[in-house]
Amino acid sequence: MERSGWLAVIAGSVAAVWAPLTACGLPLDGDGPEPDATADTAEDTADAADGGGVESSNDGANDVSLGDAGAEAEASLCNSNNCGGACCGDTCIVRSCAGCGSGHLLCPFSPGVPGSNGYCLGDCSQCGDGGAPQASVCWSCGAGSPSGTCTSDPATCAANADSGACQCPSGDAGECPGSTQVCVGLACLTCGQQSTDMKLCANGKGCMEPSGKCGP
């Protein structure tokens, strides 16, 4: 083949390759974005996204940790669920409040339920568990030393030595541990119990059984 014929073939081949590349818009002049720069940008974007996710996750973990600590602190306080005796402040002691600095009277968590656990206080008029003040005091000497429990119904108090009532051997209510108790049959009963009407209370006033109060 003559030289001019070969040149024509080569020119046709170059044109055939050039046309598709130009139609696809590929940058053939070297002005397009650098491949490395594109990769770096994508990597930076991914890192930023990952960083945000980690920070959010840590914040959540901290929140959970604080919540667990708060719940644990609350659960450690003395209450009706974790104390089978008496809550003397935040300390659970035996059911008697006789040695508690917060008060020597037991306010039951479940008023009217014999043997209910509770918390210690100094005045039964402050005992409002169950929605009603427990203004009277039942005294028991069944465990040895006198133990006082707040109640709204004096009829629930022990009525004789066999049931735990304290004794007044001389017949004088002054021997009874409670100021609103009277001596009936050598047993200390709380004013308001049966057979206490018009009896002399330990505080020197007469008992009015219907109201459960000593004096007017």
What is the percent of the chain where pLDDT is above 70? Answer: 64
Mark whether 204 and 164 lie in a shared domain: yes
Mark whether 114 and 161 lie in a shared domain: no
Mark whether 130 and 161 lie in a shared domain: no
126 in a domain, yes or no? yes
Distance of CA 153 to the CA centre of its chain: 30
In the prediction, which pLDDT does 135 show?
Answer: 86
The SS3 assignment for 22 reads helix
Residue 45 has pLDDT above 60, yes or no: no
Mark whether 170 and 115 lie in a shared domain: no
Mark whether 172 and 207 lie in a shared domain: yes
Domain containing 84 equals 73-134
108 in a domain, yes or no? yes
Residue 99 has pLDDT above 80, yes or no: yes
Amino acid letter, residue 188: C
User: How much is the average pLDDT of 17-41?
Assistant: 39
Mark whether 165 and 123 lie in a shared domain: no
Last residue in a domain, options 134, 149, 171:
134
**Closest to 148 in 3D by CA, of 202, 184, 197, 195:** 202
Tokens 């930023």 found at: 48
22 in a domain, yes or no? no
124 in a domain, yes or no? yes
User: How much is the average pLDDT of 70-76?
Assistant: 48
Number of domains observed in the structure of the chain: 2
117 in a domain, yes or no? yes
The DSSP letter of residue 33 is P
Residue 211 has pLDDT above 80, yes or no: yes
**Measured between alpha carbons, how far is 175 from 172 in angstroms, rounded to an integer?**
6
13 in a domain, yes or no? no
Residue 97 has pLDDT above 50, yes or no: yes
62 in a domain, yes or no? no
Please write the tens of the pLDDT for every residue from 171-200.
Answer: 999 999 999 999 999 999 999 999 999 999
161 in a domain, yes or no? yes
